[in-house]
Chains A and B, each alone.
Chain A
Amino acid sequence: MDTRSAKAARAAPSGRSQIAETVNAGLRRRYRAERRFRAYGIIAILVALGMLATLFVTIIGKGYTAFWQHSLELNVAVPADAVNPQDLGSANYLGLLRDALQAQFPEVDTRQERRALFAMLSDGAPYALQDAVAEDPSVIGRSVTVQVALDDDFDMLAKGHIDANLPEAQRRLSDAQVAWYQALAERGMIEGHFNTTLFTSGDSRQAEMSGIWGAVVGSFFTLAVTLALSFPIGVATAVYLEEFAPKNRFTDLIEVNINNLAAVPSIVFGLLGLAVFLQFFGLPRSAPLVGGLVLTLMTLPTIIIASRAALKSVPPSIREAALGLGASKLQMILHHVLPLAMPGMLTGTIIGMAQALGESAPLLMIGMVAFVVDIPNGPLDPSTVLPVQIFLWADSPERAFVERTSAAIMVLLAFLVFMNAAAVWLRKKFERRW
């Protein structure tokens, strides 16, 4: 070193020094390496963005039509002798609807043809008529115009997912059915509108009657149970391990186990839940309560690890300042360490919750995969959750369920984006400089 700088000093008067020359020779290589490194980074980001874009394009492309539903506007005669105003539920609304539809096509008379024509009506159509009558009982004896949902196959035809130009054998609707639909469309009786059913009903075997609300409510109860259990337990564990626990072999063992649990496949937690919560404790099947318990086990390691990292990142100078003033250990933790660690803990919790929201495997094990039509009223009612609903619908072959699957995925992604945005916002809001 000494000899080199001495040489450089000697070389200095003759212009650029030896050291400058040596440095210069390597400079271009260094900058090239830097540019290359930056290019790798950009390529990686572009690949990731490309994949994300592909995912979004396929899902949205397949599913955006699910937010749209076509219905048939029918003028239905409601004869006074058909409906008893005292007992609205007993009337044969389906018959009335069929009569109204038949009136549009008087030429249809064989039994087979009539069945093909009536297939146009959704199974939910009679309820729409009943509701209309219940809302305004004065229509009894007159006629009422109701909008009834089209059966999912006809809805698909309306949306262009069934190609009328294909040979008859290759599509689900016959030539006659397509012709009837086209006739009705020409008469202006088919109308598209926003698919509120998708957001207000539970699952159904009929695609046009099925919705995600039951799964959303089930997810909500499940996550509420998960949050209520995993946040306090996780934070308390982290605080104890980080601040109070002696550092010995036993706490090392606990730490290793927590880190291992974070990597355990989630279905294992489902099996555990099945064995412990259902078999041993006899809790109800398919209940969000049990789902929440299982997901608590799954998210706890995430929350504990994130919370411990957050506690560790609180600068020791703040702890010393509090202790030096005579604060007790608990006061130091509650007044200074926890507020500073809270953003990190909240971020970890929300990421854990997002993970729990998207989890389906462990819930299959505890029966949340059941076909549940009713909207759950509490954490003990049988219900399903969004990802399991997606799984169930993805199993159904009808084109209408394909688009609903994508729609449900979109809703789930929207929730996840919302939660992650909340995590970022919380971190920004509570972050304090020191």
Chain B
Amino acid sequence: MADTQTTAGTPLVAQGDAAKIEARDCNVFYGEKQALRNIALDIKANEVTSFIGPSGCGKSTFLRCLNRMNDIIDGCRVSGSITLDGEDIYHRRIDVVQLRARIGMVFQKPNPFPKSIYENVAYGPRIHGLARNKTDLDEIVHTSLERAGLLGEVKDRMDQPGTGLSGGQQQRLCIARAIAVNPEVILMDEPCSALDPIATAKIEELIDELRENYTIVIVTHSMQQAARVSQRTAFFHLGNLVECNDTEQIFTNPQHKLTQGYITGRFG
């Protein structure tokens, strides 16, 4: 505890604004190695929060703590508390399946199932029993694809494999798949790193639209992207949360010299 520096900026929101996700004293270990140190961070509802920082700084690790995807990694240990709407997600009573239905995830590399486009989107609602009948399911699939801005491109070939789409379309399919379950939070782990600029622009536009209904956390390597899509930005460095503030503040008036160095391109 003694060696941790305090986070600059405003990692915690004011008492009045209820935070969607609150992390306190969060430490993550991979075996003996500590990947994250005493992270304390609030994520506000209906906002886009971006995590930036150099490679290996722990931003993806922290993101994966939020829906307990780290559970499947051998030797990974999480301490401290992370709450979703005031409930500790690492509590024994919390079912990880239910948690992941509430917190969806989009991965770095588009990873559609090797099934049809329709099946890709219908899978989540089906396993959770969200649709009472076929019509319901069709409805969910259509709205999800529409919200992901993909419906126009794929509505004539719903039965074709999702893996046959282009990279950008695959990623939007993955977003459609995530929102088909109607989660409260969507975690995105560098969703555009494998995409070309046009596909990236489409996804960014989409993220901005989704903000209305969902709380979004996005990990990105591109500072421009963080500046474009997010309202709040958190800067990680070597397992520490160095600074967190409104995006505008971070990029125009960084308080910590590490943040300043990173955003001006002096390292990273």
Contacts and interface: CB of A to CB of B under 8 A. Distances in A.
A21 interface: no
B113 A326 contact: no
Contact of A324 (B74, B107, B109, B163): B107
Contacts of A331: 127
Contacts of A318: 111, 113-114
A321 interface: yes
Contacts of A317: 107, 109, 111
A247 interface: yes
Q: Which of A318, A326, A327, A340 neighbours the largest number of chain B CB atoms within 10 Å of its CB?
A: A326
Interface of A: 247, 315, 317-328, 331, 335-336, 340, 432-434
A32 B162 CA distance: 45
A320 B69 contact: yes
B129 to A, nearest CB: 11
Contacts of A247: 74
B123 to A, nearest CB: 7
B226 interface: no
Interface in B91-111: 97-101, 104-105, 107, 109, 111
A326 B107 contact: no
Contact of B101 (A320, A321, A326, A340): A326
Nearest to A246: B74
Interface residues of B, number: 27
B178 A325 contact: yes
Contacts of B100: 323-326
A320 B111 contact: yes
B217 to A, nearest CB: 13
Given A318-B113, A433-B163, A434-B163, A323 B104 contact: no
A318 B98 CA distance: 19
A156 to B, nearest CB: 59
Contacts of A340: 114
25 contacts: A317-B109, A320-B105, A320-B107, A321-B174, A322-B113, A323-B100, A324-B100, A324-B178, A325-B123, A325-B177, A325-B181, A326-B100, A326-B128, A326-B181, A327-B123, A327-B127, A328-B97, A328-B127, A335-B123, A340-B114, A432-B163, A433-B114, A433-B161, A433-B163, A434-B111
Contacts of A322: 113, 123
B104 A324 contact: yes
A2 B187 CA distance: 44
Closest 8 CB pairs of A and B: A326-B101, A324-B105, A317-B111, A326-B100, A432-B114, A325-B124, A321-B111, A434-B114
Contact of A326 (B74, B98, B163): B98
B67 interface: yes
Contacts of B113: 318, 321-322, 336
Given A319-B72, A321-B111, A326-B99, 8 more contacts: A247-B74, A320-B69, A321-B113, A322-B123, A323-B69, A325-B177, A326-B98, A326-B124
A318 B127 CA distance: 16
Given A247-B74, A318-B111, A433-B163, A324 B69 contact: yes
Contacts, number: 69
Interface string B170-191: 0000100110010000000000
A322 to B, nearest CB: 8
Interface string B103-146: 01101010111100000000110011000000000000000000
B7 to A, nearest CB: 28
Contacts of B107: 317, 320-321, 324
Nearest to A327: B127
Contacts of B109: 317
A318 B115 CA distance: 11
Contact of B97 (A315, A326, A433, A434): A326
Nearest to A247: B74
Interface string B70-81: 001010000000
B67 A327 contact: no
A326 B127 contact: yes
Contacts of B163: 432-434
Nearest to A331: B127
User: Quick one: which of B72, B99, B161 has the most chain A CB within 10 A?
Assistant: B72
A340 B111 CA distance: 14
A327 B109 CA distance: 19
Contacts of A315: 111
Nearest to A434: B114
Contacts of B127: 325-328, 331, 335
Nearest to B110: A317
A247 B72 CA distance: 13
Nearest to B125: A325
A341 B128 CA distance: 24
B181 to A, nearest CB: 6
B189 to A, nearest CB: 10
B104 A325 contact: yes
A336 B111 CA distance: 12
A324 to B, nearest CB: 4
A64 B136 CA distance: 66
A315 B112 CA distance: 12
Contacts of B101: 325-326
A343 to B, nearest CB: 12
A433 B113 CA distance: 10
A247 B75 CA distance: 10
A317 B174 CA distance: 12
A332 B201 CA distance: 32
Contacts of A432: 114, 161, 163
Contacts of B98: 326
